[in-house]
Amino acid sequence: MKLKTVLSFALVASFLLSCGNDKSEKTSDSMKKKESTAFNHNVEQFADIKILRYQIPGWEQLTLKEQKLVYYLTQAGLAGRDMMWDQNYRHNLKIRKALEHVYANYKGDKTTDNWKAFETYLKRVWFSNGIHHHYSNAKLEPEFSSDYLKELLAETNAILEGEAFDVIFNDADSKKVNQAKGVDNVALSAVNFYGPNVTNADVESFYKAMISPNPEKPLSYGLNSQLVKENGVLKERIYKSGGLYGSAIDEIVKWLELAKGVAENEAQGNALGLLIEYYKTGDLQTWDDYNVAWTAATDGNVDYINSFIEVYNDPLGYRGSYESIIQINDFDMSQKMKVLSDNAQWFEDNSPLMDAHKKKNVVGVTYKVVNVAGEAGDASPSTPIGVNLPNANWIRAAVGSKSVSLGNIIHAYNNAGSTGRLKEFVHDEEELKLEEEHGQLADKLHTALHEVIGHASGQLNPGVGETKETLKNYASTLEEGRADLVGLYYLYNPKLQELGLVKDWKSVGKSAYDGYIRNGLMTQLIRLNLGDDVEEAHMRNRQWVSAWAFEKGKADNVIEKVTRDGKTYFNINDYNKLHDLFGQLLRETQRIKSEGDYAAVEALVEGYGVKVDQAIHAEVLERNKQFTSAPYSGFVNPVLVAEKNEAGEIIAIKVTQPETFPGQMLEYSKNYSFLPEVN
């Protein structure tokens, strides 16, 4: 599960299902004190996107062997980059190649509005790993005509024709992931996990017939394949060497084998060996064996995520998107936060869950703050800020999980913006002061509680299937909301001060509650076009949590809707009662998950998380017009340059920074394109 960044002006405490996928940039809107260093985090801004840089603290403290490990893992991650593009949409690679050829070879007038619109469109495509918006899933709309693109293609001898050309301008494949109620989500989603004519019913019947050898340890069927119909018969195309995406996977394996040769310890090496075997065979039992070994391999300074993992892009939650994140341990912060994982059982025992839904033995939850050294696939350019893996419930229960907070990513967010939006949307000076003094700490703690305690908390009732089977298209948003609620429930608790994590638990908790309600009911709407429903899983969960609490607290005026000078604000009048409401909702969301209650999750999400108050939305968009900072942020990656001696041996690895976003994107396409245009 990922915690993704929410808004460049507000680090919203929310994670993704594998908590790996909320790319909501939880950058706290608090003071954003500027660093004394001259490092410039900002690269450029276009459309609704801001591109940033990040540093790699601790790089010089690594040994050369450890640096080699990071280098090889980073190369492995980039080798699979094009798989994410193809997974996102079947024409993405063909479109990208043509647009990049135009960009690199056009010699005409580059001062026209048409050319500037073309540049912006290409940058948006790069950022989203395809032609659909990275967050809203809506198809990107070019602000130039089809005739202009034809002119560019002709002048540069680039080829883009037929459906791949037409889809840029027509209404086909308008949503990458369609989560609407009452429609065939698979058939209406453009994501390339399913072949033409595959339906919801096909997917459900196909996997219903699959029985795991050990029902107590269900395999992740569908995770690493595309489901297609051939002559009316459903068939999986497996991602593996010799299978679908085989040429890119072979390149990944090459680098992983080099990484295995410089592993820090035997456990890490064994895990890498299993990952290599999984890529070669596509065997899901090997995937589980790998996750068990990887979860247990907690020693060392370097760790990584690599494979088909998060299922947010699948409307039914089966298939994993490719991603890679390479991490270096931040020892100081990890030690400070280790106290949460050490006390995981206390949090479970004292939660408001029904006793039958509490784990009697919370095992193996490790939490670290890490510094990212490289990202690829679904983690780049738009990156999570926290990750909790593995996703399989039985592995979490039996072995545990790894939770990480991406420290240098959060640091870059917090030092690349201003606080103007915060002042516009806070209710009063007290709320502003709480955010400025406690907002960043509150966000960090919510991230930690969400990942370490939230996703590890609770258990399914005996005989209840995996949530992707029982809760279907609502599984991701329910899980993310449930983990958010765990964090919210404990953020307003003296236990945090008792553990030495805060000096003033009430102020930190109030700041967290203010920020969550403000974002869930108002400020995240900046990301939507007027009239749109909320579709992204994390945005939905923030809204249904906030809207439910607002409605249920009306009788006691727990959260007050205030109108002042024609502007709307939400003011929390009773933090104690709001804490109790969060506890009630947490208890209910765990019951829904534990019992697999589809009717209840449908009512919760559709009733509170999908529809938007149009008057408030219009007001928020109008109030936001005064701010020039883009609502979404992402990153270019540092470039690791290997220096070799005459014998070809690596003698040093230097860290450099890319100068431009287009420069890095073109370099990636030149050096890491291992797939054909059609797969």
Q: What pLDDT score does 419 carry?
A: 64
Q: Which DSSP symbol is given to 534?
A: P
Q: Could you read off the pLDDT of 336-392 as tens digits, one per residue?
A: 678 988 999 999 999 999 999 999 998 767 888 899 999 999 999 999 988 889 999
Dist CA 261 CA 245 (whole Å) = 25
C-alpha dihedral (158, 159, 161, 164), degrees to nearest 10: -90
Q: What pLDDT score does 22 carry?
A: 55
Q: Which amino acid is at 406?
A: L
Closest CA to 171 of 188, 185, 193, 147: 188
What's the mean per-residue pLDDT of the chain? 92
Closest CA to 77 of 349, 378, 296: 378
Q: Could you read off the pLDDT of 130-172 as tens digits, one per residue?
A: 999 998 899 999 999 999 999 999 999 999 999 999 999 999 9
Closest CA to 379 of 634, 177, 192, 126: 634
Closest CA to 269 of 302, 308, 310: 302
The 3-state secondary structure of 137-156 reads: CEECCCCCCHHHHHHHHHHH
Buried b (16+ CB within 10 A) or exposed e, 170-187: eeebebbbbbeeeeebbb
Residues in the chain: 679
Query: What is the domain partition of the chain in residue ranges?
Result: 2-26+44-57+330-334+345-630
Dist CA 475 CA 48 (whole Å) = 28
Question: Looking up tokens 């953020």, which residue turns up?
Answer: 491
Dist CA 579 CA 485 (whole Å) = 10
**CB distance 437 to 514 below 8 Å:** no
Cα-to-chain-centroid distance, residue 444 = 16
pTM: predicted TM-score of the whole model, two decimal places? 0.81
Residue 206 belongs to what H/E stretch? helix 200-208
- Termini Cα distance of the chain: 28
Dist CA 434 CA 30 (whole Å) = 9
Q: What pLDDT score does 507 carry?
A: 97
Q: What pLDDT score does 3 carry?
A: 63
Q: What pLDDT score does 4 carry?
A: 54
Q: Phi, psi (5° rounding) for residue 236?
A: -90, 135
Q: In the chain, which residues have pLDDT < 50?
A: 5-18, 20-21, 23-37
Dist CA 365 CA 441 (whole Å) = 21
Token digits of residue 517: 């309600």
Give 599's contacts (C-beta < 8 A, 6+ positions apart): none
Q: Which DSSP symbol is given to 555?
A: G
Q: Could you read off the pLDDT of 175-190 as tens digits, one per residue?
A: 999 999 999 999 999 9
